[in-house]
Chain A
Amino acid sequence: MSAVEIRDVQKSYGGHPVLHGVSVDIPDGEFVALVGPSGCGKSTLLRMIAGLEDITAGEIAIGGKVMNDFAPKDRDIAMVFQNYALYPHMNVADNMGFALKQRGFSREVIKERVADAARILGLESLLARKPRQLSGGQRQRVAMGRAIVRHPNVFLFDEPLSNLDAKLRVQMRSELKELHQRLGTTTVYVTHDQIEAMTLADRVVVMNAGRVEQIGAPLDLYDRPGSLFVAAFIGSPPMNFLAGTVNEQGQLQVEDGLSLAIPGGGLQPGQRLTVGVRPEHLELAETGWPATVSVVEPTGSETQIMTRLGNQVIRVLIRGRTDLKPGAVVHLGADPAHIHRFDTMTGRRL
């Protein structure tokens, strides 16, 4: 059993709180991504799971055992750092076998496990090289190899793909996912890249300012964001928002005088409301919200159209191509099922 339970964990630095009671249950074998903007506390939480940061309050249990007072080496975890942290004075094989050597494994076992990991990661020909003789992608693989030879209870990844170029990042992302499917080890993965989180994780924990905003499967977060923050953070291109006040007719009165019909009831006149629609859920229609095209960005398979609706910039993503030119007036229609409503004051979903 290697479930990870995080119960009401708090962290303060010199009285300044950075984590305000975070609780997450990660079942055995699950791949969980902690995602959020810089400074939201996701790396701190990961380092607390690793034992590299003290826990101010709360509990972290691994495999049912509370680990608060255990040293990192006694938690049976393996961690891949953003900057890889390879030992520069050791070759690849020694880097990968170091943890096993520390734990008293025989030379034969170390050799066998290093060879296995090297085969999985395609590092067989690089075992005698020093880290400085490797490319960024190869170093990243060695860092992963160092983690997997251990057969640990939990893998911890701290933004492991951030230093790679875009192409290599996509490739390594697939390799990571395949590796997890193959090994089935519980994994906690920190990233600020929501695409990485969405594509890799079974569940995503969205964090903001030291708090958990929402936990859920990637598509649940995408389809039903629980707050304005999650709605804005998840999705690329980002969700469009229109903020205003509900008028007597039940329409959204936007600040520049525009009023828009909002599907669904339960709204009170005078209520502050923010409406969100994802760019791909908007369509160019015969009738609907009138908008002026400002920029057209074709990418081949789809086209992103930036429009102005009053003073608001609204993005529309359509499949295929368009002949629209900047300055053209279009009408935007939205499927009522895909219109998200948020209380502007609390930021919560309505």
Chain B
Amino acid sequence: MSSESVWARNEADEDLLGGRQVALIDLLDRLLNGGAVLTGDLVLSVADVDLVRINLRAVIHSITPDSPSPW
């Protein structure tokens, strides 16, 4: 399977969970910093995820021209 494949959305969930559409920034706070970190024969190790997280921080917390640093 190629990397062009797209993760399918779960349309049934949209119905079930109704208005529960949450801000991505709040979701990432939880999914990238929270959740149980498992051990064992992981394909992806915790350290690898940490690497990913550092790069994402740059995206999530970067100061843009539209919201410049207040100081």
To the question of whether A and B form a pair in one complex, the answer is no
List the interface of chain B (C-beta within 8 A of A).
Answer: none
